[in-house]
């Protein structure tokens, strides 16, 4: 019998439609897989077996009754714990929201529920999405299914690991500086950050409002496109939502043709410099082989320079903490979240309770970024730091605009290195920040980006990701190019890259 957990979402959806398998069977298979491997992987913070099976049974009944259903109806999904889910805990990986159950659904959640996808549970993440390793979760780290002594990337390490470990075929991620794409690269999965405004932010707990964007986390490009289509499109509840027809990502993923496509290699991300101590050799060799495959399939490849990229990482690590320090002011221990009175104070004031609750509820990385953001926004420093960082955004947007006059898509490695060992960068926040050098430019400029697995680095046998970037609202170009490359690579490998991942120990 087929292992249902190994199917792509598209294949499972087809079998559900043909009634060869039921959603209850598929959902139970995923729950069994989670029970077997997640004690070790820790991709999930919360599993809702009962709710998922109830949705599955409902979809099966409606399908049996001949009702017209969404194409992905009955396909189980995992949701990052930063997305509000009514009746299901939403903690953002933080103690300050321990046990919080939202009274409403995010727009994404509403769309998932309306389409009839059973929600398996909530996935682990760096606290408030601040981190590149998922080690900053207050509830313990997620482990990389390729090597459980290593990090899965972050902040969305839970969603990426869940998909890589066959605990779900579909997951929701959010990407403020690479939190979908970098874990995709480090776990050998597909991750997409849509154009800013392409997916509603209503009901996402805000990190940096001008950078945050939710997107799909999957094992195949087509699955990502199917989930992107479900999540995306205009939402009146988000004032920054793009009020225009969404890009046709599914047909683009099915087209998969790069003949005549103009592809630009980002010079500044082609191997070194950028304050990063060079890109890992195995990352660069897989990247260059992938580019050669694209060339052999008829793409025209040139090098393109983005001169302001030199300042992008610094600008990001000002804009993001500034916006975060403001957004996280809402956690004041008054209306929701934990309230921890100061020790030893008799009849403390609201302000004292607020300060002690925030000290008890926030972890080190969150405190660090709030302090940096508070500094950058304080009178006397505002222009020099936050103001200058905003100017870098303008320069970077201009660089991208001129690059996209020459080429249709840009490519770079998604991450300078493969997955590192748990604990390696915890004491050196700056070295952790430098890992985001290739992913943050897309967030600053609001353009879409996709990470595709392109092989294993020879020196450590760990996954490498290639990132495609496209102009705003041209997300379809990512899917076309990535689907073409995915096919070329799978033809070469004789199957998907994840088939090379080690089997996980199964708890019984």
Partner 1 sequence: MSEPVKGISRADVSHLAGLARIDLSEAELDHLAAELPAILEHVAVVQQAAGDDVEAMSHPLPVNNVFREDVVVPCLTPEEALAGAPASDQQRFLVPKILGED
Query: Of residues 12-71, which lie at the interface with partner 1 (CB under 8 A)?
Result: none
**CB of residue 204 to partner 1, shortest distance in Å:** 16
344 belongs to the binding site for partner 1 (CB under 8 A): no
3-state SS string over 76-142?
CEEEECCECCCCCCCCCCCHHHCCCCCCCCCHHHHHHHHHCCCEEEEECCCHHHCCCCCCCCCCCCC
**CB of residue 179 to partner 1, shortest distance in Å:** 17
Q: Which of 124, 356, 412, 451 binds partner 1 (CB under 8 A)?
A: 356
155 is catalytic: yes
Site string for partner 1, 416-435 (x = CB under 8 A): -------------xx--x--
Judged by beta carbon, residue 71 or residue 89, the one nearer partner 1 is 89
**Region of 119-127, 386-394, 401-409, 451-459 interacting with partner 1 (CB under 8 A):** 386-394
Backbone dihedral angles phi then psi of residue 93, each to the nearest 5 degrees: 70, 20
Size of interface with partner 1, in residues (CB under 8 A): 78
3-state SS string over 145-203?
CCECCECCCCCCHHHHHHHHCCCCCEEEEECCCCCCHHHHHHHCCEEEECCCCCECCCC
Judged by beta carbon, residue 350 or residue 499, the one nearer partner 1 is 350
Judged by beta carbon, residue 378 or residue 406, the one nearer partner 1 is 378
User: Cis omega before residue 73 (within 30°)?
Assistant: no
Q: Which of 390, 487, 490, 496 binds partner 1 (CB under 8 A)?
A: 390
Residues 361-380 that bind partner 1 (CB under 8 A): 362, 364, 367-368, 370-372, 374-376, 378, 380
Q: Which of 155, 241, 308, 322 is catalytic?
A: 155
**CB of residue 52 to partner 1, shortest distance in Å:** 23
Contact between 43 and 35 under an 8 Å Cβ cutoff? The reply is: no
273 belongs to the binding site for partner 1 (CB under 8 A): no
Residues 392-411 that bind partner 1 (CB under 8 A): 392-395, 397
3-state SS assignment for residue 64: helix
**CB of residue 460 to partner 1, shortest distance in Å:** 27
Separation between Cα atoms, residue 226 and residue 460, nearest integer Å: 33
Q: Which of 179, 308, 412, 415 is catalytic?
A: 179
Contact between 228 and 191 under an 8 Å Cβ cutoff? The reply is: no
**Region of 61-69, 153-161, 220-228, 440-448 interacting with partner 1 (CB under 8 A):** 440-448
Residues 99-158 that bind partner 1 (CB under 8 A): 100-104
**Region of 26-34, 39-47, 255-263, 387-395 interacting with partner 1 (CB under 8 A):** 387-395
Separation between Cα atoms, residue 285 and residue 298, nearest integer Å: 20
**Angle, to 10 degrees, between the axis of helix 157-164 and the axis of helix 23-41?**
120
**Region of 14-22, 54-62, 94-102, 166-174 interacting with partner 1 (CB under 8 A):** 94-102
**CB of residue 211 to partner 1, shortest distance in Å:** 8
Question: DSSP letter string over 343-401?
Answer: TT-SS--HHHHHHHHHHHHS-HHHHHHHHHHHHHHSTTTTIIIIIHHHHHHHHHHHHHH
193 is catalytic: no
Residues 456-475 that bind partner 1 (CB under 8 A): 472
197 belongs to the binding site for partner 1 (CB under 8 A): yes
332 belongs to the binding site for partner 1 (CB under 8 A): yes
Separation between Cα atoms, residue 222 and residue 216, nearest integer Å: 11
**Region of 34-42, 171-179, 181-189, 328-336 interacting with partner 1 (CB under 8 A):** 328-336
Q: What is the signed CA dihedral for 338, 343, 349, 351, rounded to 10 degrees?
A: -60
Q: Which of 111, 150, 228, 358 binds partner 1 (CB under 8 A)?
A: 358
305 is catalytic: no
Separation between Cα atoms, residue 282 and residue 285, nearest integer Å: 5
Neighbours of 382 (CB within 10 A): 14
Rg of the chain over all Cα atoms, to the nearest angstrom: 22
Residues 213-272 that bind partner 1 (CB under 8 A): 236, 239-240, 242
**CA-wise closest residue to 191 among 210, 165, 219:** 219
308 belongs to the binding site for partner 1 (CB under 8 A): yes
What's the length of the chain? Answer: 508
Q: Which of 80, 122, 193, 425 is catalytic?
A: 80
The span from the first CA to the last CA of the chain, in angstroms, equals 20
440 belongs to the binding site for partner 1 (CB under 8 A): no
Judged by beta carbon, residue 16 or residue 445, the one nearer partner 1 is 445
Judged by beta carbon, residue 290 or residue 445, the one nearer partner 1 is 445
Q: Which of 77, 354, 462, 469 binds partner 1 (CB under 8 A)?
A: 354
Active-site positions read 80, 155, 179
């Amino acid at each position: 019998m087929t292992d249902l957990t190994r199917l792509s979402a598209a294949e499972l959806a087809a079998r559900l439609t043909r009634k060869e398998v039921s959603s209850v069977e598929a959902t139970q298979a995923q729950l069994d897989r989670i029970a077997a491997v997640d004690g070790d992987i820790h991709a999930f913070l919360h599993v809702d077996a009962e709710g998922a099976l109830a949705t599955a049974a409902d979809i099966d009944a409606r399908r049996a009754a001949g009702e017209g259903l969404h194409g992905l109806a009955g396909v189980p999904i995992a949701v990052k714990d930063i997305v509000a889910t009514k009746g299901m805990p939403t903690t953002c990986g933080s103690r300050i929201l321990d046990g919080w159950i939202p009274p409403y659904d995010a727009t994404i959640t509403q769309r998932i529920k309306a389409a009839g996808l059973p929600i398996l549970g909530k996935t682990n993440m760096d606290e408030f999405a601040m981190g590149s390793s998922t080690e900053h979760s207050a509830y313990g780290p997620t482990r990389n299914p390729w090597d459980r002594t290593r990090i899965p990337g972050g902040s969305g390490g839970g969603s990426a690991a869940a998909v890589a470990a066959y605990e779900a075929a579909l997951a929701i991620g959010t990407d403020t500086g690479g939190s979908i794409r970098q874990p995709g690269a480090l776990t050998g999965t597909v991750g997409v950050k849509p154009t800013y405004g392409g997916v509603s932010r209503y009901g996402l707990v805000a990190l940096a409002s001008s950078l945050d964007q939710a997107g799909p986390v999957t094992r195949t490009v087509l699955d990502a496109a199917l989930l992107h289509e479900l999540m995306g499109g205009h939402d009146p509840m988000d004032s920054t939502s793009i009020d225009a027809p969404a890009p046709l990502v599914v047909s683009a993923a099915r087209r998969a043709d790069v003949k005549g496509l103009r592809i630009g290699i980002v010079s500044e991300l082609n191997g070194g410099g950028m304050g990063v101590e060079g890109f890992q050799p195995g990352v660069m060799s897989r990247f260059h082989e992938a580019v050669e495959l694209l060339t052999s399939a008829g793409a025209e490849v040139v090098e393109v320079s983005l001169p302001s990229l030199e300042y992008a990482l610094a600008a990001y690590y000002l804009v993001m903490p500034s916006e975060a320090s403001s957004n996280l002011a809402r956690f004041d221990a008054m209306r929701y979240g934990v309230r921890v009175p100061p020790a030893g104070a008799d009849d403390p004031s609201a302000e004292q309770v607020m300060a002690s609750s925030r000290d008890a509820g926030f972890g080190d990385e969150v405190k660090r970024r709030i302090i940096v953001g508070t500094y950058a926004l304080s009178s006397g420093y505002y222009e020099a730091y936050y103001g200058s960082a905003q100017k870098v955004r303008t320069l970077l947007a201009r660089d991208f605009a001129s690059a996209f006059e020459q080429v249709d898509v840009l490519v770079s490695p998604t991450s300078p290195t493969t997955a590192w060992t748990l604990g390696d960068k915890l004491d050196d926040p700056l070295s952790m920040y430098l890992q985001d050098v290739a992913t943050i430019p897309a967030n600053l400029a609001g353009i879409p980006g996709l990470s595709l697995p392109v092989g294993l680095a020879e020196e450590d046998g760990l996954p490498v990701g290639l990132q495609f970037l496209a102009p705003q609202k041209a997300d379809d170009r990512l899917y076309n190019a990535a689907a073409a490359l995915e096919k070329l690579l799978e033809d070469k490998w004789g199957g998907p890259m994840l088939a090379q991942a080690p089997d996980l120990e199964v708890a019984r």
